[in-house]
Copies of this chain bind each other. A is one copy, B any other.
Amino acid sequence: MKLVFVTGNAQKLNEAARILKKHELINESIDIPEFQGTSKEIVIAKAKLAYQKLKKPCFVDDTSLCFNAWNGLPGPYIKDFLRFVGVEKLPSLLDGKDNSGYVLCSIGYAKSEDEILFFEGRINGKIVSVGGSDRFQFDRIFIPNGHDKRFSEMTIEEKNKISHRKKAFEAFNAFLEDE
């Protein structure tokens, strides 16, 4: 099956291709705005808009970092928290509070304009001071539960074995198997 992944990120495309390996992945890098809302609301809105532009089935993804002390926020706004607060300072906003949280990868798949499916992968962990390589921004402040290393201190292979993105794409892949 041909699948259109709307992303401008080559690394995401490679990772998705590895998991969705029975399918032919086609990349479209169209301009879709970032909406406000929950991760789920955002990927559903983006998938619908992508379908309206491309006129064919397609999927989008979005990544969140969620603080339990903030009831799940910054969530999808993590991109602007990294942009304006910065990864060095961000963990200090939780000083004196519960530093547990989770990372989410959310996928919206538009089968048609009005049939949007949603898939999600979640990894619980802790938000800690910055460390490790600067490969991905919030990977430098997140240690998944059951591990003693930040995502940024793992090899890409180690991280990809356990990541939120892997879980989300596996859920999407399982759905496609049953289609």
Q: Which residues of A contact B (CB under 8 A)?
A: 33-37, 45, 69-77, 79-81, 84-86, 89, 93, 95-97
Cross-chain contact B95 with A71 (CB below 8 angstroms): no
Cross-chain contact A73 with B84 (CB below 8 angstroms): yes
6 A–B contacts from the bound complex (CB under 8 Å): A36-B80, A70-B81, A77-B77, A93-B97, A95-B97, A96-B96
A172 → chain B closest CB, angstroms: 24
Closest B-chain residue to A85, C-beta based?
B71
Residue in B34, B73, B89, B97 whose CB lies within 8 Å of A85? B73
Copies of chain A in the complex: 2
Given A96-B95, A96-B96, the answer on whether A37 and B71 have CB atoms closer than 8 Å is no
Cross-chain contact B73 with A81 (CB below 8 angstroms): yes
Q: What 8 pairs across the A-B complex have the smallest Cβ distances?
A: A34-B36, A71-B84, A71-B85, A77-B77, A33-B35, A96-B96, A73-B84, A36-B36
B residues near A35, Cβ cutoff 8 Å: 33-36
B residues near A95, Cβ cutoff 8 Å: 96-97
Complex: how many Å from CA A93 to CA B97? 9
Complex: how many Å from CA A97 to CA B33? 33
